[in-house]
Amino acid sequence: MKSLNVELADRSYPIRIGAGLLADARQYAEVEGRRLKLVTDSNVAPLYLTHVLNALNLKEEDALVLPAGEEHKSWATVERVLDWMLGARLNRDGVLVALGGGVIGDMAGFAAAIYQRGIDFIQIPTTLLAQVDSSVGGKTGVNHPRGKNMIGAFHQPRLVLADTTALRSLPQRELLAGIAEVIKYGMLADSDFFKWLEQRLDDLLVLDTDALTKAIYRSCELKARIVAQDERESLAGGAGPRALLNLGHTFGHAIETYTGYTQWLHGEAVATGLVMAADLSARLGWMSAKDAERCTRLVARAGLPVKPPAGMTPEQFLELMGHDKKVAAGKLRLVLMRGIGLAVVSGDFDKDALQATLEHFTKQ
């Protein structure tokens, strides 16, 4: 078991990573004696709910099982959670436990953020993506017909338990989608970690506990360091440190929007976005063609897509990228690389190079 502390002054909290944590009563010492409620979904409940309820000494009625799936990441679902907590008369000392993937974590975190103006919550992420991404940073929220995560809040958990055992039940495609985000951390902030991933990718793919623990730990550590510099993504008008975490995401969002958020998993779209960002960085002469090729190869070896969906055009990319949250005053800013491990936010790049990247990736 490894443990790290996310340093955010009075909102600091520990992340513990290892095998079997969710069923281990000792892991919940931080909230001993407090009234707890738990939210999970219909996929996760049959697998882990009983273990967690037992470890926390809770009854079945203390858990709310929500329908699984991104399409339920809506205000209506959060309202259901709020009504349920109010009906149970949970007071401001209460704690909400989120057991599940990113959708459950985002919704339960948001419910905790706005329940009686904010109560504590615990994250038990059961997907690799949630363990390395949504469990650090305090972003919570729901989707709106006009966009993903348009309604939400920053609300830090009190504790995160990343149980590597839970990943054994994860569909392979979702495991790979999580690995895309792990690769992202290496590409954006740590060339040694990137090298380690090149060496240990196969161990990750067979769910070796030590490799997983190390990969999750380092990903969380890198993200936590960035979040500590820019907790609310408010520095430099959104182009500060935290924006670096969006490496691959602007291209990725375009793919997700184009495919209606149904065919591609977020991590898959990010994977292709990472490859495209590396390609553009190389075209700009900001990183070597060899390093860009290493990025492409690692993504491909993980069984992740390295090309956008067939039929997507450069024009569609530009149009969909123009609607990205990271567009300031009409100017397209991208997260690019000055080498592996050295991401930068820039709106000041040759637009012809971007056009060349888009053409390269969309040619049939």
Angle at 205 between CA 340 and CA 294, to 5 degrees: 25
Backbone phi and psi for residue 329, each to the nearest 5 degrees, phi listed first: 50, 45
Residue of 139, 40, 35 whose CA lies nearest to 95: 35
Verify whether residue 144 is a known catalytic residue: no
- The stretch among 20-28, 38-46, 177-185, 325-333 that binds a copy of itself (CB under 8 A) is 325-333
Helix (H) or strand (E) holding 238: none
Query: CA torsion 42→62→108→213, rounded to 10°?
Result: -70
Residue of 26, 29, 59, 117 that binds a copy of itself (CB under 8 A): 117
Helix (H, G, I), strand (E, B) or coil at 151: strand
Whole-number Å distance between alpha carbons of 197 and 134: 21
Q: At what angle do helices 314-322 and 351-362 cross, to 10 degrees?
A: 120
Angle at 44 between CA 69 and CA 232, to 5 degrees: 60
Contact by Cβ (8 Å): 245, 188: yes
Verify whether residue 16 is a known catalytic residue: no
Single out the catalytic residue among 73, 80, 253, 326: 253
User: Can you read off the two tokens belonging to residue 112?
Assistant: 């905790």
Single out the catalytic residue among 72, 249, 283, 333: 249
Q: How far, in whole angstroms, is CA 156 from its chain's centroid? A: 14
Residue of 146, 290, 331, 363 that binds a copy of itself (CB under 8 A): 146
Verify whether residue 223 is a known catalytic residue: yes
- The stretch among 47-55, 86-94, 121-129, 341-349 that binds a copy of itself (CB under 8 A) is 86-94
Rule CB under 8 A: say whether 331 interacts with a copy of itself.
no
Q: Is 102 annotated as a binding residue?
A: yes
Residue of 149, 209, 213, 346 that binds a copy of itself (CB under 8 A): 149
| Segment 225 to 264, residues that bind a copy of itself, using CB under 8 A | 232-233, 237-238
**What is the x/- site pattern for a copy of itself, positions 150-179, by CB under 8 A?**
xxxxx-------------------------
- 79 or 352: CB nearest a copy of itself: 79
Contact by Cβ (8 Å): 98, 121: yes
- 173 or 232: CB nearest a copy of itself: 232
Verify whether residue 233 is a known catalytic residue: yes
Residues contributing to the site for a copy of itself (CB under 8 A): 75, 79, 82-83, 86-87, 91-93, 110, 113-118, 139-141, 144, 146-147, 149-154, 232-233, 237-238, 325, 327-328
